[in-house]
Amino acid sequence: MEFSAEQIAGILNGEILGDAEVKVNDLAKIEEGKKGTLSFLSNPKYEEYIYTTGSSICIVNKTFEPSKALPEELTLIKVEDAYSCFAKLLELYGNLYKKEAAIEEFTHIDPEANMGDNVHIGSFTYIGKNASIGSDVIIYPNCYIGENVTISSGTKIFPGVTIYHDCKIGSNCIIHAGTVIGSDGFGFAPDEHGKFQKIPQIGNVILEDDVELGSNVSIDRATMGSTFIRKGVKIDNLCQIAHNVDVDENSAMAAQVGIAGSTKIGKHVLIGGQAGISGHIKIADHTKIVAQSGIPSNIKKAQTLMGSPGIPLDDFKRSYFGFRKLPGLLKKVQELEEKIEALTKV
């Protein structure tokens, strides 16, 4: 679909500088722009590209003033916040591809499942007994929705997702391809012969509203009770959330984070990629954990942690500075030892 600068400015309540009739039919990064595409500039670090971009329209902040000549065919739309406005356009662009309500061929929907209005179910999807699918839910092909699962309105589930029995998914969640929700927690106990006996995992997983899970995330069901992913949590690809973990509201974690069983993550906690968090501990609200850090014990107040074990960021930087000097210090020690040895022979 094509949109004119005038139409886009109307959506964003923006001011046009240039040709109001120019049209675009695609989106592009400013450094990769070409004729017919729409870009944006919000970070001054990328300002150089606006003077060479081939984009037809660029969204900029109202405060932007060019320091040299812009391309002749470039039209600007000035807005209060270029980044958030471009995000709004991305959302509208994505909605152009929204699935229409339909039940595709080769699906299995149990007769006792409850289906809401305007639901889309893709081919080769299985929906079990007593499952409840809310209105405006989209489930792409090759998904498994187990018995007694609840999926609330407006949630989108991409291909290959597995949701085990009794789990509950809130409204307006997004679950990306390959994610598994509700597989057994890692519960085993050795018997008198040292052989591991499986501990039944009889709980479930509860995702509250507005949660987004990346691809190939694994969230284990609770041994008893529930594993909780609270409202607004965002989890990147390839994360492992163990049984009985509770991730509180509006926290976020990057790829390959692992959280061991029964740990409680506070509100607004940010966790960098490949960080590991031990079991049965609590992480305070607003804590920040730098990528590849290891957290072995409770964090009682908000701070930024780095390293393994994680220590306050400034302490880590000082420690690292000392660590980098170790080769030189070792060389000096060796030289001193040689001098002492030589002196003792005199």
pLDDT tens figures, 172-201: 999 999 999 999 999 999 999 999 999 999
Model pLDDT for residues 58-112, shown as the tens digit of each residue: 999 999 999 999 999 999 999 999 999 999 998 888 777 778 899 999 999 999 9
What count of other Cβ atoms lies within 10 Å of the Cβ of residue 134?
20
Structural domains in the chain? 3-95 (3.40.1390.10), 102-315 (2.160.10.10)
**In a 3-state reduction of DSSP, which class is residue 309?**
coil
What count of other Cβ atoms lies within 10 Å of the Cβ of residue 252?
16
pLDDT score recorded for residue 346: 65
Letter string b/e over residues 293-322, b meaning 16 or more CB atoms within 10 A of that residue's CB: bbbeeebeeebbbbbeebeebeebeeeeee
| pTM to 2 decimal places | 0.85
* Whether the predicted pLDDT of 312 surpasses 80: yes
- Asked if 232 and 210 touch (Cβ cutoff 8 Å), the reply is yes
pLDDT score recorded for residue 4: 96
**Among candidates 21, 19, 60, which has minimal Cα distance to 39?**
60
* Whether the predicted pLDDT of 322 surpasses 90: no
- Average pLDDT (275-298) is 97
pLDDT score recorded for residue 303: 96
Model pLDDT for residues 163-172, shown as the tens digit of each residue: 999 999 999 9
Model pLDDT for residues 18-71, shown as the tens digit of each residue: 999 999 999 999 999 999 999 999 999 999 999 999 999 999 999 999 999 999
Letter string b/e over residues 70-101, b meaning 16 or more CB atoms within 10 A of that residue's CB: beeebbbbbbeebeebbeebeeeeeeeeeeee
* Whether the predicted pLDDT of 284 surpasses 90: yes
- Asked if 53 and 75 touch (Cβ cutoff 8 Å), the reply is no
* Whether the predicted pLDDT of 122 surpasses 80: yes
Strands 188-190 and 196-198: antiparallel
Model pLDDT for residues 223-269, shown as the tens digit of each residue: 999 999 999 999 999 999 999 999 999 999 999 999 999 999 999 99
Contacts of 322 (CB under 8 A, 6+ apart): none
pLDDT bucket at 342, cuts 50 / 70 / 90? confident
- The distance of Cα 330 from the centroid of its chain, to the nearest Å, equals 43
pLDDT score recorded for residue 247: 98
Ramachandran angles phi, psi of 135, nearest 5°: -65, 145
Alpha-carbon distance of 86 to 70, in angstroms, equals: 20
* Whether the predicted pLDDT of 341 surpasses 90: no
pLDDT bucket at 161, cuts 50 / 70 / 90? very high
Alpha-carbon distance of 3 to 14, in angstroms, equals: 14
Give the rounded percent of residues in the chain with a pLDDT score beyond 90: 87
Query: Active site includes 193?
Result: no
pLDDT score recorded for residue 320: 83
Burial of 338 per CB tally in 10 Å (0-12, 13-18, 19+): exposed
**In a 3-state reduction of DSSP, which class is residue 325?**
coil
Catalytic residue (one of 165, 176, 243, 286): 243
* Cα diameter, the chain: 98
